[in-house]
Chain A
Amino acid sequence: MRLTFDLQPGDDRLFTDESLEQIGQIERGLLRLERGLDPAVVNEVFRAAHTLKGSAAMIGHRRMAELTHAMEDLFGAFRSGTLRDLKPFADVLLTTIDVLRTLVAEVRHGSTLTDAPEPLTGRLRELLSTATGASRDGAPESSNRGEVPVDEAGVSDSTFAPLIRRLLWEAPGGYEPRSLVVCKIDPLSEWQAVRLLQLVIECEEMGVLIASAPDRQEIESELGSTLLAMLVRGRPLELLEVRARLAAIEEVVGVEVVAAPTDAPGEAVTDAHSDSPPSAARAEEAQSSPSVEVFRPRDPIPVAESERIARASASGDQLKLAQQTIRIDVTRLDELMDLVGELVVHKTRLAQSAQELAARLGDDPLARRADEDAQQFARIAGQLQDQATGLRMLPIDTVFNRFPRVVRDIDSQLHKEVQLIIEGKETELDRSVLEVVGDPLSHLVRNALDHGIEPPEERRARGKPLPATVRLTARHADGRILITVEDDGRGMDPAALRQAAVDKGLMSREAAESLTDAESLRIIFAPGFSTSKFISEVSGRGVGLDVVRNNIEKLGGWVDVSSVAGEGTRVSLSLPLTLAIIGALLVRSGPRVCALPLTGVVETLRIEPGSLGRVRGHNVLSLRDRVIPVERLDGALGDPSRPLETDDRGFVNLVVVRSRNAEMALAVDAFVGQHEIVLKSLSRVTGERMGLAGATVLADGTVGLVVDIAALIERWTSGSGPAARPTTRVA
């Protein structure tokens, strides 16, 4: 069915982004609530659901609005304290999350993608009414408008209890005397929201308001309530005028002011939250990865009360932090980076001009000033570059935060008892890397759960601890980011891997037996090794670990694996912090300067032409035990082929490059130097851009072409190049 929404062109993206963010927040909240109810998190998910409902309704996505409404009501019951255990609802709520994502996709897709929302909405409503019906002896819900009997409002009135509880949880802590004001509106009023708003505004204008429940936003979105609780500054006796003014508002049928309880949980939160490190254990941790988070989906550990409160306050802080951030279109960040890159280029030129001026004018005040200014400018430009680069950095948490859910789902599917430990989630890396690292990581985590971790019976029999552990860590090391996926499962047996490689026809028995144990482990990354074995619902999709390795290596990274049979497996990924700024070897080749990313450069050589060999009409280089094909770089990129040339000293300049295990020697006219370059897209200006990763602005302001070494070599190995193929070494 076609769907149309009430959206301006271009707003669909905004709606999608924001909704997905809310949905993600609810999902993360749910996973935490499953471990134990936490009022701050309940509030977080309730608000997110509420906002989501509002935006869905605004664009006229009825099915989505209804589903989120049902979910919001369910959260409302937790918020008011009617419901206290989320576990029975977890599965259906997580299903709701998935369906919501599909519903969001419908907006861009423009047609119905799922039939699930209607039955799911019904199911949520049914669950809510069953659960609250069973516990509907205490406080009824605040949202049940019209059911409140008209009588004198009072704090003792149990109908206010949920509002007050919530107010005290949410309100910022404070030490000055505070009071609670509760008000009730005539339930027959047609202007409930207006009246509530009047009450809140009155208190605001008198400068006493700290917080209200419902808050302004909720009132304005017509949540529908006749009850209002406010936390205000001052003792009840000082608030007589406030009370009088509030009572004078039309259709207000009751106002009462009492002193706020001083031992309110809201204040306990503030007290419990301190910045002192929890223990010396943290100090001993790797300095770059201080945070450790443990997720035990099936076996929630009892959390000490103090810790629970501390966590509540942490998420409260996160809420506030979120309001201090702004959303920027990434293309604007990219443009900023472009401009900063240009500035840095000009910084160098300015410094040169200042020096020339000094050389020409000698000891002249003007020359001195120009030199000082140029230096100052260089310093500021450098700082600006650091800042701009920093803007593109995001914590890896944006990738890691999907894994608690992944682990939970697989866990309940495979019935393995697994806890996920995440360390170093605040480690930052560039957006460009972040975008591409998620899928390989998912694959590795799924593999660890599916194939690494033993079933509980087996672990018990072997005397291994339960739950099993999958540990995901990230840290910076040597200007790169190191991510490891570690499990304490059954590990891998090198001998078995060698046997499997022979059985699958990947290598001869002799070759297999010549491998060391460490080399044998790498067999899992060989093409064709994992595909057949790894197709299962969990880690499946028929994609092998060789694809993981390829994708990582394409980014200039590498993959390592270590394993001890019976004890576990660790896979480490090492990646550059950014793909936007890369180290490159600049070379002159034909009419231009080319940049060869250092990740693919093996070595540079200057040799006499006579020392090159010939194989079937092509130049080859014998380097130690390898025979490497030699090609001019410009020819390899697609310029008309020309014979090799020597430089003025009679040498051929060669750069040996490698991708995966194939090598090539590229002949260039001259080596220019090694530089950090900013990678820019080149568009499809060439129609076919084979062999080029993009372009970069060089120090002199001209453009250099950035070579895609992997693509260049791949084109050669795929046979479109001459008969001489690059050497392939054993993995």
Chain B
Amino acid sequence: MADEPSPSGSGQSGELQIVVCELADEHYGLDIAGVFEIIRHQPITPVPRAPSFVKGVINLRGRIIPVVDLRARFGMPEVEPTKETRIVVAESPSTRVGLIVDGVSEVLHVPADAIEQTPAVAAGADAEYLRGIAKLGGRLVLLLELDGLFGAEERTALAGAA
């Protein structure tokens, strides 16, 4: 049921291994080293008084994990889950969290020289969750910085959940 990514993370210089997630018609990439597991959508228990983009909590083999709707986080219209919907369980030193995405398409090896710094036009207030943009054969993949997804306050809020 779980599509387990290969345990080998990206670490070698010159190449990044990323999990490509779909969100509306955009592509987002997460460093595979920070992806813990990818699971199908499942019932989420809503938690009172949670921030609006925190959909609630799920049980991942006995651990209670908060789930964030990336569409809601990025201000996109929310949609009902489909067959393709996945929850990407990702972790950084400060957070373990499930990210709801429209789908997970592939794992890509990205050469370092294909990654550009976030251009000013895409940056603005959102710059801190973008690590860069990878250009891959005419496709643009926005590389996400997990810790940047949540403000300091939200990070604290999410911290103990992992």
With A703-B45, A705-B45 already in contact, the answer to whether A685 and B158 are too (CB < 8 A) is yes
Complex CA distance for A279 and B159, rounded to whole angstroms: 57
Cβ-defined contact, A639 with B59, below 8 A: no
Contact of B62 among A342, A634, A691 (CB under 8 A): A342
Cβ-defined contact, B64 with A634, below 8 A: no
1/0 per residue A673-703: CB within 8 Å of B?
0000000111111111111100101000111
Q: A635: nearest residue on chain B (CB-CB)?
A: B48
Q: A338: nearest residue on chain B (CB-CB)?
A: B62
Q: B46: nearest residue on chain A (CB-CB)?
A: A591
Cβ-defined contact, A686 with B48, below 8 A: yes
Taking CB atoms, residues of chain B closer than 8 Å to A590 are 46
Cβ-defined contact, B161 with A682, below 8 A: yes
Interface positions, chain B 38-87, Cβ under 8 Å from A, are 42-43, 45-51, 54, 56-59, 61-64, 66
With A683-B160, A685-B57, A685-B157 already in contact, the answer to whether A702 and B49 are too (CB < 8 A) is no
A310: Cβ under 8 A from any B Cβ: no
Cβ-defined contact, A639 with B161, below 8 A: no
What is the minimal beta-carbon distance from A662 to any residue of chain B, in angstroms?
Answer: 21
Complex CA distance for A686 and B57, rounded to whole angstroms: 10
A592: Cβ under 8 A from any B Cβ: yes
Cβ-defined contact, A685 with B59, below 8 A: no
Contact of B49 among A338, A593, A687, A701 (CB under 8 A): A687
Q: Interface size bucket, B side?
A: 20 to 34
Complex CA distance for A692 and B45, rounded to whole angstroms: 13
Cβ-defined contact, B51 with A687, below 8 A: yes
Taking CB atoms, residues of chain A closer than 8 Å to B156 are 684
Cβ-defined contact, B50 with A703, below 8 A: no
Interface positions, chain B 79-137, Cβ under 8 Å from A, are none
Cβ-defined contact, B61 with A688, below 8 A: no
Complex CA distance for A639 and B46, rounded to whole angstroms: 10
Cβ-defined contact, A697 with B159, below 8 A: no
| Total of A-B residue pairs, C-beta within 8 Å | 90
Interface CB pairs A-B, < 8 A, 18? A341-B62, A342-B59, A590-B46, A592-B56, A638-B48, A680-B63, A683-B66, A683-B158, A683-B162, A685-B54, A686-B48, A686-B54, A689-B49, A695-B45, A695-B64, A697-B59, A702-B45, A703-B64
Cβ-defined contact, B64 with A682, below 8 A: yes
Cβ-defined contact, A687 with B157, below 8 A: yes
Taking CB atoms, residues of chain B closer than 8 Å to A637 are 48-49
With A637-B48, A683-B161 already in contact, the answer to whether A695 and B62 are too (CB < 8 A) is no
Taking CB atoms, residues of chain A closer than 8 Å to B54 are 685-686
What is the minimal beta-carbon distance from A345 to any residue of chain B, in angstroms?
Answer: 8
What is the minimal beta-carbon distance from B143 to any residue of chain A, in angstroms?
Answer: 26
Q: A637: nearest residue on chain B (CB-CB)?
A: B48
Cβ-defined contact, A684 with B46, below 8 A: no
What is the minimal beta-carbon distance from A258 to any residue of chain B, in angstroms?
Answer: 63
Interface positions, chain A 309-363, Cβ under 8 Å from B, are 338-339, 341-342
Cβ-defined contact, B48 with A684, below 8 A: no
Cβ-defined contact, A683 with B50, below 8 A: no
With A339-B62, A697-B62 already in contact, the answer to whether A683 and B159 are too (CB < 8 A) is yes
Taking CB atoms, residues of chain B closer than 8 Å to A684 are 156-160
Taking CB atoms, residues of chain B closer than 8 Å to A634 are 48
What is the minimal beta-carbon distance from B92 to any residue of chain A, in angstroms?
Answer: 15
What is the minimal beta-carbon distance from A592 to any residue of chain B, in angstroms?
Answer: 5
Cβ-defined contact, A701 with B59, below 8 A: yes
Contact of B59 among A591, A592, A687, A703 (CB under 8 A): A703
Taking CB atoms, residues of chain B closer than 8 Å to A703 are 45, 56-59, 64
Complex CA distance for A701 and B162, rounded to whole angstroms: 17
Interface positions, chain A 558-611, Cβ under 8 Å from B, are 590-593
What is the minimal beta-carbon distance from A83 to any residue of chain B, in angstroms?
Answer: 53
Q: A688: nearest residue on chain B (CB-CB)?
A: B49
Complex CA distance for A593 and B46, rounded to whole angstroms: 10
Complex CA distance for A639 and B48, rounded to whole angstroms: 5
Q: A695: nearest residue on chain B (CB-CB)?
A: B64
Q: Interface size bucket, A side?
A: 20 to 34
Contact of B157 among A680, A686, A697 (CB under 8 A): A686
Cβ-defined contact, A682 with B57, below 8 A: yes
What is the minimal beta-carbon distance from A203 to any residue of chain B, in angstroms?
Answer: 51
1/0 per residue A429-461: CB within 8 Å of B?
000000000000000000000000000000000
What is the minimal beta-carbon distance from A595 to any residue of chain B, in angstroms?
Answer: 11
Cβ-defined contact, B63 with A338, below 8 A: yes
Q: A339: nearest residue on chain B (CB-CB)?
A: B62
Given A685-B57, A702-B45, 15 further pairs, Cβ under 8 A: A339-B61, A339-B62, A342-B61, A591-B45, A592-B46, A638-B49, A681-B160, A683-B64, A684-B157, A685-B50, A686-B49, A691-B48, A692-B47, A697-B64, A703-B45
Cβ-defined contact, A705 with B47, below 8 A: yes
The 3 closest A-B pairs by CB, nearest first: A683-B160, A683-B161, A338-B62
Taking CB atoms, residues of chain B closer than 8 Å to A691 are 48
Cβ-defined contact, B62 with A681, below 8 A: no
Taking CB atoms, residues of chain B closer than 8 Å to A682 are 47, 57, 64, 161
Taking CB atoms, residues of chain A closer than 8 Å to B158 are 683-685
Complex CA distance for A683 and B50, rounded to whole angstroms: 11
A29: Cβ under 8 A from any B Cβ: no
Complex CA distance for A53 and B56, rounded to whole angstroms: 51
A489: Cβ under 8 A from any B Cβ: no
Complex CA distance for A341 and B50, rounded to whole angstroms: 26
Q: B60: nearest residue on chain A (CB-CB)?
A: A342
A704: Cβ under 8 A from any B Cβ: yes
Cβ-defined contact, B47 with A686, below 8 A: yes
A682, A683, A689, A702: residue with the most chain B Cβ atoms closer than 10 Å? A683
Taking CB atoms, residues of chain A closer than 8 Å to B161 are 682-683, 685
What is the minimal beta-carbon distance from B38 to any residue of chain A, in angstroms?
Answer: 18
Q: B48: nearest residue on chain A (CB-CB)?
A: A638
Q: A685: nearest residue on chain B (CB-CB)?
A: B66
Taking CB atoms, residues of chain B closer than 8 Å to A695 are 45, 57, 64
Taking CB atoms, residues of chain B closer than 8 Å to A638 are 48-49
What is the minimal beta-carbon distance from B152 to any residue of chain A, in angstroms?
Answer: 12
Taking CB atoms, residues of chain A closer than 8 Å to B50 are 685-687
Taking CB atoms, residues of chain A closer than 8 Å to B59 are 342, 697, 701-703
Taking CB atoms, residues of chain A closer than 8 Å to B58 are 702-703
Taking CB atoms, residues of chain A closer than 8 Å to B63 are 338, 680
Taking CB atoms, residues of chain B closer than 8 Å to A692 are 47-48
Taking CB atoms, residues of chain A closer than 8 Å to B51 are 687
What is the minimal beta-carbon distance from B47 to any residue of chain A, in angstroms?
Answer: 5
Complex CA distance for A351 and B79, rounded to whole angstroms: 36
Complex CA distance for A343 and B29, rounded to whole angstroms: 33
Complex CA distance for A681 and B157, rounded to whole angstroms: 13
Taking CB atoms, residues of chain A closer than 8 Å to B157 are 683-687
Taking CB atoms, residues of chain B closer than 8 Å to A339 are 61-62
Cβ-defined contact, A685 with B47, below 8 A: yes
Q: B50: nearest residue on chain A (CB-CB)?
A: A686
Taking CB atoms, residues of chain B closer than 8 Å to A705 are 45, 47
Taking CB atoms, residues of chain B closer than 8 Å to A341 are 62
Complex CA distance for A593 and B54, rounded to whole angstroms: 18
Taking CB atoms, residues of chain B closer than 8 Å to A690 are 49
What is the minimal beta-carbon distance from B153 to any residue of chain A, in angstroms?
Answer: 8
B54, B62, B153, B162: residue with the most chain A Cβ atoms closer than 10 Å? B62
Interface positions, chain B 2-61, Cβ under 8 Å from A, are 42-43, 45-51, 54, 56-59, 61
